Structure 1
Amino acid sequence: MVSGALLLHSDITTNGDRKSDGDIDVMGDERCGEAVTIKYEEPTTDIIGAPDLYIDRGSTINLTCVVLYSPEPPAYIFWNHNDAIISYDSPRGGVSVITEKGETTTSFLLIQKAKPSDSGRYTCNPSNAQAKSITVHVLNGEYPAAMQHGGQAHHRSSHLYCLIFCVCLLLLSP
């Protein structure tokens, strides 16, 4: 009996039939007497924090794209902003990419001093896996509806109340 798993590229040609996502039945030589089921994983792409990222103006945007189950590291990963390929030597400046290739490939897009024009849809587009997107919202100190609680905006004063409460606890403790 054959057991174990084998990672295959999803576009492999076999003389078998694909039973379901992740399984292929391969019929070998009739003298062998056994059919073998090969397990495989489809390459996947994920952006940490997707689908939305909220960041303050002036902060550094750090988008992290992870490519998993790829038979080999992608030859390249393009990053797009609103469907246009990001140029790392654009006049905007402060844009860089770090890509670590391996069994799991990770690409970091760093954009320094975020401004409202940096808001929009960012897409990580690896050469050998599906693209994945995230929407970035650069805030000017406002609180977006998605971060509101109980129909009321989250106020900065809540931090002050928390601080006062902690000081009271310290004063009342023996």
Structure 2
Amino acid sequence: MIKALLHRMLRKFESDFDYDASYMHEVTDAWPGGSLRYLGLSIFSQTRGPEAEIWAGAVIASTLEGDCGPCAQLVVNMAVKAGVDPDQIAACLRRDFERAGAVGLAFRFAEAAIHDRPEVDTLRVAIFHAYGQKAVIAASYAAASGRVYPVLKRGLGHGQACQQIRLGDTDHTVVRLTA
């Protein structure tokens, strides 16, 4: 019974976001309890706070750092569905942070937090002053959690590198962070 319910939930998720969750169907078949624990991750990773743009920028950066194309496409689709401006997302993908607004601020914050860069403090303060402490918390949660999914998928044999993200009718090449 629990397996059937989990599979139904996964199929709805796949339909809602045009996403292949076959890896989670495999987990559900092998270990329903593991699948339930996976669902708990979304409580953490979907902690959006008051500004969808801040959550989106951080979770997209974190997911791209994890390097899974379908995962990155999924969080981009979720961000657009949450009302985040696709142009700001596209600007982040090409690292044009001047045009990326709040999404770009959170994207840079997540990269700085992940790579332990000194600008993380300046970016955190900028988020705090513009959007408040809840936004800082949401950005931190998103930075920490977005890369969980690519690592999990690779571990289960389903990882795929990210080269392009589709926004509307346009494919955008992802420009990578350089050392």
TM-score > 0.5, shorter chain as reference: no
TM-score (norm 2): 0.22
TM-score (norm 1): 0.22
RCO comparison, higher one (Cα < 8 Å, 6+) = 2
Structure number with larger C-alpha Rg:
1
